[in-house]
């Protein structure tokens, strides 16, 4: 069967014809793989007939990648969540004293370990309990998380990938870093297959 080029240099046109789901999936993980974003969350609907196939592909591609870890779990609404995380980046964000104080005030363990905090969040997601503090795990500034959760002193400013509250300077910096890392990884995908990038980790060196 002949394959024709669309003639467009778009982000979904990659080097090889490897599975589109895998490439589209992996491309969203650039900031996490680069170490500038702590986590990224995907959800698979219970009505998705390709759910099992997608999960099998995730295991196949990511089980040998040392750059990121992942957890797959089913929620009480029957959806399946896949939470990817960069252990070093997540630990750094959660080790921040202000973040810890805030999370402890919302029921997180008094004695911090990254695994305990991540486990607490996952358990809330399993039970479909609102976890608006999750924004901290995503690397969003604490002020934006507090504003989203209703702090009256923080007024909504704008949208920048998430709802920004108060002075947008820090939020803009974080968003720019996320976007820069994603563009970097998209360029890497133009030159390498997902399998090459995820297994040959020496290629994945991001300089912000």
DSSP assignment string, 8-20: ---TT--SS---H
Q: Is residue 42 part of a domain?
A: yes
User: Domain of 122?
Assistant: 20-192
Reported as a single tens digit per residue, the pLDDT across 52-73 is: 998 998 888 888 788 899 999 9
Helices (H), the chain: 20-27, 30-34, 51-62, 87-95, 97-104, 114-126, 134-137, 142-148, 169-191, 194-199
pLDDT in tens, the chain (208 residues): 333 333 333 333 334 445 667 777 788 898 998 899 999 999 999 999 989 998 998 888 888 788 899 999 999 999 999 999 999 999 999 999 999 999 999 999 999 999 999 999 999 999 999 999 999 999 999 999 999 999 999 999 999 899 999 999 999 999 999 999 999 888 888 887 777 777 765 556 666 6
Residue 7 lies in a domain: no
In a domain, 11, yes or no: no
Angle at 100 between CA 158 and CA 73, to 5 degrees: 80
Q: CA–CA separation, 180 vs 123, rounded Å?
A: 32
Query: Is residue 162 in some structural domain?
Result: yes
43 by DSSP, 3-state: which? strand
Does some domain include residue 12?
no
CB 123 within 8 A of CB 74: no
* 102: in domain: yes
Residue pair 71/83 in contact by the 8 Å Cβ criterion: yes
Q: How far is CA 190 from CA 17, 74, 89, in A?
A: 11, 33, 26
Residue 65 lies in a domain: yes
Model-level pTM? 0.86
Q: For residue 204, is it within any domain?
A: no
> How many structural domains comprise the chain?
1
Instruction: Specify the DSSP element, H or E, that contains 164.
Output: strand 163-165
């Amino acid at each position: 069967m002949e394959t024709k080029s669309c003639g467009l240099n778009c982000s979904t046109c990659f080097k090889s014809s490897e599975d589109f789901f895998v490439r589209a999936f992996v491309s969203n993980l650039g900031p996490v793989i680069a170490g500038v974003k702590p986590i990224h969350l995907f959800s698979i609907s219970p009505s998705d007939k390709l759910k099992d196939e997608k999960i099998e592909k995730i295991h196949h591609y990511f089980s040998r990648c040392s750059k990121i870890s992942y957890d797959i779990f089913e929620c009480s609404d029957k959806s399946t969540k896949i939470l990817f995380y960069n252990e070093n980046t997540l630990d750094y964000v959660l080790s921040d004293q202000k973040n810890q104080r805030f999370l402890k005030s919302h029921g997180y363990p008094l004695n911090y370990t990254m695994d305990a905090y991540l486990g607490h969040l996952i358990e809330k997601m399993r039970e479909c309990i609102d976890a608006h503090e999750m924004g901290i795990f995503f690397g969003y500034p604490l002020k934006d998380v507090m504003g989203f959760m209703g702090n009256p002193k923080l007024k909504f400013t704008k949208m920048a990938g998430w709802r920004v509250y108060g002075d947008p300077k820090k939020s803009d910096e974080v968003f720019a870093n996320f976007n820069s890392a994603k563009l970097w990884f998209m360029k890497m995908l133009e030159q390498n297959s997902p399998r090459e990038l995820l297994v040959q980790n020496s290629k994945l060196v991001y300089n912000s």
